[in-house]
């Protein structure tokens, strides 16, 4: 497959000639907004939107995608259930989890799920796009809001262990 160099903020990230992203989002308006954001430059991806986890699993079984952006609490099973099923199918596409701000504790719990990115829906679009670029480059990405939660959780754990 032909590789292009996608440049954002001076950093080159190789991406496939036609980047395909599957968005798994139960709220039609949020899904449409994500589709618009991801379908425009700088990513200019081909975006497909499904409304539930079962549809996501079916699409990933039928077609190849470069990235999945999945709502944490997608029905009828959570994103964790979707990721577990994908792993069982041998699907290795990177997954970025997206949650409402009030679900941040669940998102922190999900950090050991095998997902490559973690963001809340209230993060700035540029931060989210930078994170997707990072994941597409083969790395992990954590939104600033989520990172604050991670640091706070680690600080509480350190104090509980007597190291703080």
State the pLDDT at residue 93. 93
Domain boundaries, the chain: 3-160
How many whole angstroms separate alpha carbon 83 and alpha carbon 88?
Answer: 9
Q: Give the angle subtended at the CA of 46 by the CAs of 84 and 100, to the nearest 5°.
A: 50
> CB-based burial of residue 152 (10 Å sphere; 0-12 exposed, 13-18 middle, 19+ buried)?
exposed
Quickly count helices (H) and strands (E) in the chain.
6, 8
For 40, the token pair is: 């425009």
pLDDT along the chain (164 residues), means of 10: 35 62 96 96 96 93 94 86 86 91 75 86 95 96 84 72 57
State the pLDDT at residue 4. 33
State the pLDDT at residue 100. 85
| Domain 3-160 is found in CATH 3.40.50.2300 | yes
For residues 6 and 13, the answer to whether their CB atoms sit within 8 Å is yes
State the pLDDT at residue 11. 42
Task: Give the N- to C-terminal CA distance of the chain in Å, as an integer.
Answer: 51
Peptide bond into 20 cis (omega under 30): no
State the pLDDT at residue 67. 96
For 18, the token pair is: 């036609």
């Amino acid at each position: 497959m032909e590789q292009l160099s996608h440049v954002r903020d001076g950093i080159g990230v190789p991406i496939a000639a036609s980047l395909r992203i599957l968005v798994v989002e139960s709220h039609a308006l949020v899904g449409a907004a994500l589709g618009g954001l991801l379908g425009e430059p700088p990513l200019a991806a081909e975006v497909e939107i499904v409304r539930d986890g079962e549809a996501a699993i079916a699409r990933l079984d039928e077609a190849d995608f470069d990235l999945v952006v999945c709502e944490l609490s997608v029905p009828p099973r959570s994103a964790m259930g979707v990721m577990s099923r994908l792993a069982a199918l041998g699907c290795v596409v990177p997954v970025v989890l997206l949650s409402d701000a009030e679900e941040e504790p669940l998102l922190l719990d999900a950090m050991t799920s095998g997902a490559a990115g973690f963001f809340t829906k209230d993060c700035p679009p540029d931060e989210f796009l930078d994170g997707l670029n990072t994941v597409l480059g083969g790395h992990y990405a954590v939104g600033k809001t989520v990172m604050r939660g991670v640091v706070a959780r680690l600080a509480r754990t350190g104090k509980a262990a007597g190291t703080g």
